[in-house]
Amino acid sequence: MDAVRPMLATKTDRVPTGEGWIHEVKWDGMRVLAEVSETGARLWSRNENDVTVSFPELAGMTGPGVLLDGEVVAFDEGRPSFGALATRMHQRNARRAAALADSRPVTFLVFDVLRVGSRDLTGEPLSRRRELLEGLGLGDDRCQVPPVYDDGPMLMTATREQRLEGVVSKRLASRYHPGVRSPDWRKLPHRDRTSWVVGGWRPETGSADRLGALLVGEPTPAGLVYRGRVGSGIAGSAGPLLATLLGPLALDSSPFVDEVPRVDSVGTRWVRPEVVVDVESLGFSHHDRLRQPSYQGVRSDLSVADLLADAEGDQGQADRGQEEHR
């Protein structure tokens, strides 16, 4: 089949309540659509890339011809770890991917079914899709269907106490709209994790070649706007991986459309703005710079165009929300 872009959730500042909603744990993973048949599975990332080779333990899933939507999650001591998943997401070497599947296995947490056999379910309400999903009999070490909850505020409290990422709330009557960011699905994370585009990197102090920090920005219709320097979290294998990805993208001048402060720009190696990374922070300073940012991993499942579309979708939803309150 052709790849399908998944339906996306909009940001919210409170968990919706009422009988028309169900609530799920927001997992710290990678969104994946899986076409499962009797001979195995094919996997697509959110930006329609075939990532089957990256997750051989999931490619071995078999079933009665279904298209599933969910999150690929790596667990570390029982808790989801995006850092552990980052080593798996970008792997395209089949032999290396197989070795990582043994040492750092992932689990596919399924929350929706879009097709069973030749029956397209995208036009049916979530309540019916969920009923069919739970009847598929999925559930083993590699593929699970997590529960849903009626009480969103309770789940928000529980996920905070368990240091999970947050909550996704979904309207039971919602149809599935591929590639659309819908107000019928709403997400509320506990932590401020955002995705940014790398525009340059700085060597470690005392080294000419070892990567020590990233300069990241926000893609806008006018170009890449500088948002800050990220040095925390780049240790161990992260630095060499980033250097490998950024090396071929070298530029002679800054790709940012605004001026980068001299304290950040001196000694920086500029790159074409193509690599997307996740960063945790304490929000923004009054200069619109990230506060205490910490690198979390490369997002090979996201492109610059995806970030632009997300920003436009969130802004459009915010504008509609303001109109509703007038």
- Condensed to tens digits (0 to 9), the pLDDT of residues 214-251 reads 999 999 999 999 999 999 999 888 888 899 999 999 99
Residues of each domain in the chain carrying CATH 2.40.50.140: 193-306
The pLDDT score that the predictor gives to residue 3 is: 62
DSSP notation for 192-244: -EEEEEEEEEEEPTT-SSSEEEEEEEEEETTEEEEEEEE-BT--TTHHHHHHH
The pLDDT score that the predictor gives to residue 322 is: 44
Alpha-carbon gap, residue 41 to 134, rounded angstroms = 19
The pLDDT score that the predictor gives to residue 270 is: 98
Residue ranges in the chain whose pLDDT is less than 70:
1-3, 206, 208, 313-326
11, 26, 170, 187: the active-site residue: 26
CA distances in angstroms from 54 to 3, 30, 101, 106, 150, listed in the order given: 16, 12, 9, 10, 35
pTM of the model: 0.75
Residues of each domain in the chain carrying CATH 3.30.470.30: 8-186
- Is 187 tagged catalytic? no
Q: 8-186 has which CATH code?
A: 3.30.470.30
pLDDT in tens, 61-91: 888 899 999 999 999 888 888 878 888 887 8
The pLDDT score that the predictor gives to residue 316 is: 52
Using DSSP bridges, classify how beta strands 79-80 and 40-45 pair: parallel, antiparallel or unpaired: unpaired
Question: C-alpha dihedral over 314, 316, 318, 319, to 10 degrees?
Answer: 170
CA proximity to 6, closest of 185, 180, 183 = 180
The pLDDT score that the predictor gives to residue 86 is: 81
Q: 193-306 architecture in CATH?
A: Beta Barrel (2.40)
